[in-house]
Structure 1
Amino acid sequence: MNTDETLDLLRQFVAMHTENGNEKVVADLIDGIFKKAGIASKVLPFEDDPTRANLVAEIGHGKPVLCVTGHMDTVSAQQEGWLRDPFTLTEEGDMFYGRGVTDMKGGLAAIVAAMVNLKAHESQMHGTVRFLATAGEEVGMPGARRLHEQGYMKDVDALLVGEPSGYSIIYATKGELNLNIRMKGKAAHSSMPDAGINAVEAIVEFLTSLKTCILDAARGVTSADLGDTVFNIDVIRGGRQVNAIPESASAEINIRIIPELSNKEILAVLDEEVAKFNENHKASVSYDVTMDIVPVIGPKDSKLSSIVKSVGERHLRSQGNTAPIPVIGVSGGTDGSELLRDAPRDTAYVVFGPGNRTMHCINESLPKSVFFDFIEMYNEIFDEYLGINQ
């Protein structure tokens, strides 16, 4: 794909409203591009929601199998605070602005462009590139889970995730627990608080105790690859009006998981706290798990990681930067948690994609130079991994 075609593709991606859903429109667009280029491709709609879909495409045949993945959804983008329309790709100087340009429609467009470019060299390939475009990475990872269940990872030797890393190689990502906490109290007039049970006060007390207990369990438990457990209370809801004792309240919690303190161990602490609270309080608390994904740690010295590091450092040197590319673990999660759920421990796992720290932020941005550089780097990574021109 030439520069104008790739830019137009990114523009179309940003214009598509795929905030936690509606990914089939993106999948259909990619499918059309691939079919025009002669790339084997298919859209896999969700059985329970025809507006959602994954896409699978392949070039080449045989081993090794390099799986490349990117997600088609974004987080929401309320207009308030945006200086530009979040669903119009805006170019200012060396920057792109728009919802998803960093996380991760920029990476998605770069992968699609590199796949089209790779097709011209298919006869020289020694192996297979399988592209998985997923739905729902931002909430629950249902797309990646379906692809894993459908067997698309069974023969994979290495996984390259196009999530935003910038000029860093990510080899380890934390797991994640998202919890919806519900508190049930009793309504009353605010002039007679003793006649009611204040659910807001109760949930604040419960959350304070829960945070203390989980951080106590995490104290001194750290991962050499991923650091410490992270606990966040991100959403609280409760009360209907200022002169009424609230009968219900809810909260959403996000916990970032390391292998040394597992999802199951965290949930055991939660269960103990729920039981203790319900035994000693008039209010009652319950919860749902809305996301449960495990940490992923790949080998630092895999063939894929070595190739990505070599290609990336070569590009940085051409820009006058001689610093080595760091190989790091991060708190963020990726579809790799589902795709590699039962993969061999030595399966290569690399996150490497265009982006910066504006993911999920108002006025999300991406440097143009980084976007186009990653297309070239993906081209070179594919060539070197598959032995083209060797």
Structure 2
Amino acid sequence: MTRALDVTALASDLIRHPSVSPDPGESQIALGETLSVMGFEVFHLPFGEGEERTPNLFARRGKSGPHLCFAGHTDVVPPGQDGWRHGPFAGSVDKGVLYGRGACDMKGGIAAFVAAVSSFLAGRSDPKGSISLLITGDEEGPARFGTVKVLEWMKAHNQIPDFCVVGEPTNPTVMGEIIKIGRRGSINVRITVKGRQGHVAYPHRADNPVHRLIHILNELTEKPLDQGSEWFEPSSLQMTSIDVGNVATNVIPAEAKAALNIRFNDLHTGTALKEWIETVCHRHAPDCDVAASISGESFLTSPGPELDALKASVHDVTGREPRLDTGGGTSDARFIALYCAVAEFGLVGASMHQIDEHVAVSDLDTLKRIYERLLERTVA
């Protein structure tokens, strides 16, 4: 029989395994041992080679549907500068607050789900459905050999769930504020305009690439991309760098570079935006280079039974009606959305990536009880 686990002790134990992205694997080994005792079939799935080698874990309990999956990551960002009141990997509890790198982003979320499963299973016969966890070790990094590869493995082994909850810290200030049902897409673009170097006093003997780059950037930024859509705010194009590298005041440079990022809603695709930027660039500078990297497309999980169950579970425990939201940066949910319905709900994220990252012990317990209610509503 499964015994109920203490969520704070679980979170502290995970924090004590330093796992700066990519996670070297010790935290997932410990997690896998805990899940095995709880009756999960555990698969350790490393992908990548050398320095890119990324540990991943998939664990499942049950064979039938409905199948609820929890997704998260054990890797964390570096501790950063000195000044931590408690060691970043000490997992210390002080006056009802758990401190440590990953406390809210997102080892605390993983601990809350595992503790919720243990309470759900304690004293209960096997549920009708299945419960699984998809845990990666590179969400904070390039995300090349983590969730993307595990999902491919899951599809090949008939392990795709009906609904997935990503335990990212979604709440700005208090538990129960926000469920994220989508994210904007993201594209990074680098533009290089080539010219001919020369003396500024003799411009007819040179070709100034800066002037043409200015025309390109003016056209790209002069109008809004859109006015937003039903669930998304307007798309945003932001220049992130303009660089000539010219230390002389009397030289026309040979090339000029710029970089930009677009966070785009569901009115666009990364490919369409890339083609638009290329068209604008080549209109003003036919021989320019445009290098684009699409890190994720926008996605949206439309309201339905799965989201209703999550919303109701949040309300049961907190008394709040969570707002459905699509703001913020990207997460691994962008990959999961290609396979099944997905939503994000986790802890308060105000301190994530900061010195003294922390989470209230009471919030850990609240999240654990929300996840337990979701299990009762979906797989009991």
TM-score, with length taken from structure 1: 0.78
CA gap 1:248/1:99 in 2 versus in 1, 3 angstroms: farther
1:156 aligns with 2:157: no
Deviation at 1:378, TM superposition (A): 1.4
1:101 to 96, 103, 110: 103
In the alignment, the residues of structure 1 paired with residue 259 and residue 76 of structure 2 have an alpha-carbon distance, to the nearest angstrom, of 19
1:9 aligns with 2:13: yes
CA gap 1:315/1:202 in 2 versus in 1, 3 angstroms: farther
Partner of 1:42: 43
- What amino acid sits opposite 1:359 in the alignment? M
1:73 aligns with 2:75: yes
Partner of 1:320: none
In the alignment, the residues of structure 2 paired with residue 351 and residue 40 of structure 1 have an alpha-carbon distance, to the nearest angstrom, of 24
In the alignment, the residues of structure 1 paired with residue 200 and residue 244 of structure 2 have an alpha-carbon distance, to the nearest angstrom, of 18
Partner of 2:302: 299
In the alignment, the residues of structure 1 paired with residue 242 and residue 83 of structure 2 have an alpha-carbon distance, to the nearest angstrom, of 22
TM-score, with length taken from structure 2: 0.80
Do the aligned residues in 1 keep the contact of 2:16 with 2:89 (CA within 8 Å)? no
- What amino acid sits opposite 1:165 in the alignment? T
1:259 aligns with 2:256: no
1:336 aligns with 2:341: no
Do the aligned residues in 1 keep the contact of 2:212 with 2:284 (CA within 8 Å)? no
Deviation string 1:307-357 (CA, Å, 9 cap, x unpaired) is 22222222224xxxxx423233324333222122154xxx3x321111223
Deviation string 1:193-221 (CA, Å, 9 cap, x unpaired) is 9799888x5797377336416x54x233x
Deviation at 1:264, TM superposition (A): 2.3
Do the aligned residues in 2 keep the contact of 1:44 with 1:54 (CA within 8 Å)? yes
Deviation at 1:384, TM superposition (A): 2.5
Do the aligned residues in 1 keep the contact of 2:216 with 2:281 (CA within 8 Å)? no
1:146 aligns with 2:149: yes
1:369 to 362, 365, 368: 362
Unaligned runs of 5+ in 1: 318-322
3-state SS, counterpart of residue 52 of structure 1: coil
- What amino acid sits opposite 1:42 in the alignment? F
Deviation at 1:63, TM superposition (A): 0.9
CA gap 1:250/1:375 in 2 versus in 1, 3 angstroms: farther
In the alignment, the residues of structure 1 paired with residue 109 and residue 72 of structure 2 have an alpha-carbon distance, to the nearest angstrom, of 7
- What amino acid sits opposite 2:154 in the alignment? G
In the alignment, the residues of structure 1 paired with residue 299 and residue 73 of structure 2 have an alpha-carbon distance, to the nearest angstrom, of 17
1:379 to 372, 375, 378: 372
Deviation at 1:128, TM superposition (A): 0.4
Do the aligned residues in 2 keep the contact of 1:296 with 1:337 (CA within 8 Å)? yes
Partner of 2:235: 229
Partner of 1:326: 323
Deviation at 1:41, TM superposition (A): 0.6
Partner of 2:188: 179
Deviation string 1:86-118 (CA, Å, 9 cap, x unpaired) is 444454544444433222222122223334444
Q: CA RMSD in A?
A: 3.7
CA gap 1:368/1:234 in 2 versus in 1, 3 angstroms: farther
Do the aligned residues in 2 keep the contact of 1:59 with 1:122 (CA within 8 Å)? no
1:209 aligns with 2:218: yes
In the alignment, the residues of structure 1 paired with residue 197 and residue 281 of structure 2 have an alpha-carbon distance, to the nearest angstrom, of 24
In the alignment, the residues of structure 2 paired with residue 240 and residue 138 of structure 1 have an alpha-carbon distance, to the nearest angstrom, of 35
- What amino acid sits opposite 1:353 in the alignment? G
Between Structure 1 and Structure 2, how many residues are aligned? 366
- What amino acid sits opposite 1:385 in the alignment? T
In the alignment, the residues of structure 1 paired with residue 244 and residue 80 of structure 2 have an alpha-carbon distance, to the nearest angstrom, of 22
Do the aligned residues in 1 keep the contact of 2:104 with 2:169 (CA within 8 Å)? yes
Deviation at 1:162, TM superposition (A): 0.8
Deviation at 1:44, TM superposition (A): 0.4
Partner of 1:130: 132
In the alignment, the residues of structure 2 paired with residue 326 and residue 154 of structure 1 have an alpha-carbon distance, to the nearest angstrom, of 30
Deviation at 1:45, TM superposition (A): 0.5
- What amino acid sits opposite 2:111 in the alignment? A
In the alignment, the residues of structure 2 paired with residue 338 and residue 251 of structure 1 have an alpha-carbon distance, to the nearest angstrom, of 29
Deviation at 1:252, TM superposition (A): 5.1
Percent sequence identity over matched residues?
20
3-state SS, counterpart of residue 330 of structure 1: coil
